[in-house]
């Protein structure tokens, strides 16, 4: 029953997502599979997978224990906070904090997680800014 409810909810969300994507306007110089087509592709895959959940649900789904739900909630909350922290803290600091938090959540050591986070932030920043020419926020507090 839970798979069917989840599938039905995702089915409605995919239709709403596709409906909203219709109003998305892009310039005439956009790629064929670019900003206009991509939301429709995502909505189509979401529709198909949710339809599968409705038609062929798992007869006995295994639900995780409470601790796992708490960890998932904390990770989700951290991504929401990361999105809000990007502009005031900047990409480098907020990404370093996020990756460090994720490393700790996955039972990593804080110092190794921090070192990996600094390297990952610098590499990602270099890729986006230097190679792709996509500006990233440097932070309003700086």
The pLDDT of residue 63 is 80
How far apart (Å, rounded) are the C-alpha atoms in residues 4 and 13? 14
Q: Are residues 51 and 76 in the same domain?
A: no
Q: Are residues 45 and 7 in the same domain?
A: yes
Number of H helices, E strands in the chain: 5, 0
The first and second tokens of residue 64, run together, are 């995780």
The pLDDT of residue 122 is 96
Q: Are residues 77 and 123 in the same domain?
A: yes
Cβ atoms 43, 14 nearer than 8 A:
yes
Q: Are residues 71 and 118 in the same domain?
A: yes
Contacts for 113 with CB less than 8 Å, ≥ 6 apart: 99, 100, 102, 103, 104
**Which band of pLDDT confidence, cut at 50, 70 and 90, is reported for residue 34?**
low
The total of structural domains in the chain comes to 2
Q: Are residues 113 and 82 in the same domain?
A: yes
Domain range spanning residue 77?
Answer: 66-131
How far apart (Å, rounded) are the C-alpha atoms in residues 75 and 72? 5
Cβ atoms 17, 43 nearer than 8 A:
yes
pLDDT by residue (tens digit) across 99-124? 999 999 999 999 999 999 999 999 99
Task: Tell whether 140 is covered by a domain.
Answer: no
């Amino acid at each position: 029953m839970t798979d069917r409810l989840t599938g039905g909810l995702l089915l409605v969300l995919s239709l709403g997502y596709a409906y909203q994507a219709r109003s998305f306007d892009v310039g005439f110089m956009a790629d064929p599979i670019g900003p206009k087509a991509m939301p429709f592709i995502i909505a189509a895959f979401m529709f198909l997978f949710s339809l599968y959940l409705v038609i062929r649900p798992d007869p006995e789904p295994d639900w995780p224990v409470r601790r796992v739900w708490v960890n998932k909630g904390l990770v989700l909350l951290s991504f929401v906070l990361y999105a809000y922290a990007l502009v005031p803290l900047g990409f480098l600091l907020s990404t370093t904090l996020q990756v460090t938090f994720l490393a700790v959540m996955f039972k990593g050591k804080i110092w190794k997680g921090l070192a990996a986070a600094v390297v990952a932030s610098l590499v990602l920043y270099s890729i986006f800014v230097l190679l792709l020419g996509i500006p990233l926020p440097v932070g309003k507090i700086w």
